[in-house]
Structure 1
Amino acid sequence: MGGRQRHIGVEGRRARLALRHRLAAQARAKTPEEVAGSLVALHGTDPATVYLAIGARLADAGGTVPEVERALYEERTLVRMHGMRHTVFVFPTGLAAVVHASTGLAIAAKARAGLVKDMVTGSDGRLTAQWLTEVEASALAALARRGQATVGELTRDEPRLKERFTYAAGKSYESLQPVSSRLMRVLGVEGRVVRGRPLGAWTSSQFRWAVAPPHPELPPAEAQSELLRHWLAACGPATEADLKWWTGWRVTDLRRALSAIGAVAVTVDGGATAYVTAGDEEPAAAPEEPWAALLPGLDPTTMGWQERDWYLSPGLRPALFDGSGNVGPTVWWNGRVVGGWAQRPGGEVVWRLLETEDLGQQARAAVEEEAARLSAWLGDTRVTPRFRTPLEKELSA
């Protein structure tokens, strides 16, 4: 695009975030599908994150659990599958083919090659690639017959899944690995199986597996362009570093996709170049009212960008992130992270503001209202984040 680049400052970016991520009261959604469509992807590594992230964005959060279960397991309008950076996400089902072709294929090829190499080496050649092909075909047939199944159930149908091999022989982290867990992960990245209903409550991390619904095979470059278009519409402006981090793609693939969709370069505060979709350079309207939100650990908004200073002060990170870069539960006020929250064993939702400035009584009252709303729909359920952070541990004690 010729001419001088448009500038989108911090306040403009926060306004976009508030409305496009359905966090301001006026932008809240009616259904989980609306939330997922607006965010493109919901982190699914911690099962509770999906429900908490959706509940924070629904106009009526009281029906969050049954509504999410309807979408995931009954109507299958949402699907939990491996995606960017070899991470489990929940996507709108209509994007499954796009995610698979844009991201999953490259990861899947490496995952399968790694499994075969580790399996052959760790079994002294007893377990071969041909053997694996036979076992996976048998396991997939058993899964199709059952509809949904745990790994334990599948091993009863196909006992060869119980076979183990030595991983990293001679290393300090040497271990015996079952074929079953590695194979199901590979099949998941390949888009051949998806996560089904969990065992127990919605907070459980023990899932059944199901055969993936059929989807068209798309050209990878076309799929990358489509995924990038969706994500920039939700999260633009974003820098090249943000985009590379979120997608996990090579720089050459990223730049090709940016060109293919006609992405427009803009500047953001600090002078960096960022990108938006064509026609999205104009200033966004600010939310009608100030807003507060209590977002869960690994929330897709908090984890949406690699360069986060415009909504998260660096001084807050030691309290809100674990040692691997996973964010814990956060408190938001008007487009920026201002603190964290946790749930105590008795069920009480507690929070703390970390910003040094006094945010005022309006902010405190709004956060308290959100904490009460969250506590009401959680009811007797207790949620402990999969990745514990310093502030969450302290508050929950």
Structure 2
Amino acid sequence: MTGDGAVRRIGGDERRARLGVRHLLAPGLRAKSAEEVTRSLVALHATDAATVYLSTAARLTEPGFTEVERALYEAGSLVRLLAMRRTMFVVTRDSAPVVYAAAARAIAVKERAGLLKYLAEGGGWDGAWLSEVEEAVVAALTVHGESTAAQLGGYEPRLREQVVSAAGKPYETRQNVASRIIRVLAAEGRITRRRPVGSWTSSQFRWAVAEPLSEPPAAEAKAALAREWLAAYGPGTEADLKWWTGWTLADVRKALTAVGAQRVALDEGTGYVLPSDVEPAPAAAPWAALLPGLDPTPMGWQQRDWFLPDEHRPALFDKTGNVGPTVWWDGRVVGGWAQRPDGEIVWRLLPDPGKGSGKSSGKSAGEGPGKEAVAAIAAEAARLGDWLGDVRVTPRFRTPLERELSA
């Protein structure tokens, strides 16, 4: 990190302008491919399978689920990884080695340790037994190709063994070992998720043998990932990068130093940008967006006051901190949206903290964003409804406003 001389101040307006441009949300900046969208955001949240498609569609010139399927399952240019904060992400194949070495490898080590303890305590199986089962699973996938967990249990019966948890207690449970073993194999990059069973909204996947990743050294990878994050989300604070990556503060500071990050002044305190990114960023034209739950943009920072008022959090987040579907106007979260059982996309503007407590909806501007914003948001809602068509999407992590609107 360097900080000689005067430190430039970057206010909320400039940060919001950067967001619209770099996250491909401003007019005229939408992408033509799923790979371009993913690169612009570093990684797409994939805990909820539908988020990958909805996040991409919001940024494509021609939205549709087939473009994501092409990249994930035909070209193989996008891959899924258990990475930052022990969360599932979709990243480009080119960046996968960096993400794995910087954030996923350490998680895989912890996952394996937890699995060995789980197997020993629940069934008396050791590491040698686990290795035999894992080799059998990989061999079965090599012979049979893409397979579901149930099919793998048929090829390798030991996957159907059960572990007893809390034995003898009222809440005693039994669980097949398959899900835990498959999860660790995937975390280590030995197998990978392929097409889901059912539609693109399904979270039940087929599995296949993964192509090996050529990993860079951890320190080098962490610097590369910090550089990608700063390019997409900068300026940001140490706390933001620490939260997003799941690293220690020491790791964050080493990575920022390695990329020569420049200090800037933010409302939250000291922030950082890349050395080539200190100069003022051009403003973008006003833009509207309907982003899904767990979209990378609202989940890109720990400190969100500059685009999401605290007053909106109870309506837009679940109890564990997962953001739900959000409505955006010109770099700010101004409301939420949902899909009703009949397919209608409905949305509501939340009260503007700076303009009193009046409420507004998709039918009336009320207080808060004006007519231009309401018209632009309505157009985005219509665009989303058109491409979803007969598909119905229910967020995996439901929030108070989404539940209310979808009822």
The TM-score range, normalised by the shorter chain, is over 0.9
Matched, 1:355 2:351: yes
Aligned to 2:382: 372
Distance 1:170 1:25, change over 3 A: farther
After TM superposition, list the pairs within 5 Å mapping 1:178-193 onto structure 2: 178-193=176-191
Contact map agreement 2:80 2:89 (CA 8 A) in 1? yes
Aligned to 1:284: 281
Q: One-letter code of the match for 2:82?
A: H
Q: One-letter code of the match for 1:56?
A: A
CA deviation string 1:135-189 (max 9, x = no partner): 0001011112222111111111111111111234466754323211001111121
Whole-Å separation in 1 of the counterparts to 2:273 and 2:44: 21
Per the TM alignment, residue 255 of structure 1 is displaced from its structure 2 partner at its CA by 1.1
Q: Which runs of 5+ in 1 are unaligned?
A: none
Whole-Å separation in 1 of the counterparts to 2:247 and 2:175: 29
Whole-Å separation in 2 of the counterparts to 1:389 and 1:345: 17
Whole-Å separation in 2 of the counterparts to 1:364 and 1:171: 56
Where 1:143 maps in the other structure, the secondary structure is: helix
- Which of 202, 221, 228 is matched with 1:230 structurally? 228
Whole-Å separation in 1 of the counterparts to 2:143 and 2:221: 31
Where 1:7 maps in the other structure, the secondary structure is: coil
Distance 1:184 1:387, change over 3 A: same
Contact map agreement 1:81 1:195 (CA 8 A) in 2? no
Whole-Å separation in 2 of the counterparts to 1:378 and 1:163: 40
Aligned to 1:10: 12
Aligned to 2:149: 151
Aligned to 2:212: 214
Aligned to 2:363: none
- Which of 22, 25, 28 is matched with 1:26 structurally? 28
Matched, 1:77 2:77: yes
Whole-Å separation in 2 of the counterparts to 1:171 and 1:69: 45
Aligned to 1:38: 40
- Which of 371, 388, 406 is matched with 1:396 structurally? 406
Aligned to 2:140: 142
CA deviation string 1:230-267 (max 9, x = no partner): 11100001111111110001111111111111111111
Query: Which one is further off, 305-314 or 347-356?
Result: 347-356
Give TM-score, length-normalised by structure 1: 0.96
Whole-Å separation in 1 of the counterparts to 2:253 and 2:186: 28
- Which of 45, 60, 63 is matched with 2:62 structurally? 60
Q: One-letter code of the match for 2:22?
A: R
Contact map agreement 1:14 1:336 (CA 8 A) in 2? yes
Contact map agreement 1:238 1:275 (CA 8 A) in 2? yes
Whole-Å separation in 1 of the counterparts to 2:65 and 2:119: 40
CA deviation string 1:254-312 (max 9, x = no partner): 11111111111111124x1111111111111111x211000000000011111000000
Contact map agreement 1:49 1:296 (CA 8 A) in 2? yes
Q: Which runs of 5+ in 2 are unaligned?
A: 356-366
Where 2:282 maps in the other structure, the secondary structure is: coil
Q: One-letter code of the match for 2:374?
A: R
Aligned to 1:387: 397
Give TM-score, length-normalised by structure 2: 0.94
Q: One-letter code of the match for 1:68?
A: V
Per the TM alignment, residue 208 of structure 1 is displaced from its structure 2 partner at its CA by 1.1
Q: One-letter code of the match for 1:59?
A: T
Aligned to 1:325: 321
RMSD between superposed Cα atoms in Å: 1.2
Give the aligned length.
Answer: 391
Where 2:289 maps in the other structure, the secondary structure is: strand
Whole-Å separation in 1 of the counterparts to 2:332 and 2:239: 20
Whole-Å separation in 2 of the counterparts to 1:328 and 1:267: 30
Distance 1:307 1:173, change over 3 A: farther
Per the TM alignment, residue 193 of structure 1 is displaced from its structure 2 partner at its CA by 1.7
Whole-Å separation in 2 of the counterparts to 1:172 and 1:261: 54
Whole-Å separation in 2 of the counterparts to 1:247 and 1:171: 38
Matched, 1:306 2:302: yes
Whole-Å separation in 2 of the counterparts to 1:245 and 1:169: 36
Contact map agreement 1:79 1:91 (CA 8 A) in 2? yes
Contact map agreement 2:102 2:221 (CA 8 A) in 1? yes
Query: Which one is further off, 364-373 or 164-173?
Result: 164-173
Whole-Å separation in 2 of the counterparts to 1:173 and 1:106: 32
Distance 1:111 1:4, change over 3 A: same
Per the TM alignment, residue 106 of structure 1 is displaced from its structure 2 partner at its CA by 1.0
CA deviation string 1:321-380 (max 9, x = no partner): 111111110000000100000001111000000033431110100000000000000001
Contact map agreement 1:104 1:191 (CA 8 A) in 2? no
Whole-Å separation in 2 of the counterparts to 1:69 and 1:279: 35
After TM superposition, list the pairs within 5 Å mapping 1:94-243 onto structure 2: 94-123=94-123, 125=124, 127-169=125-167, 174-243=172-241
Whole-Å separation in 1 of the counterparts to 2:320 and 2:171: 19
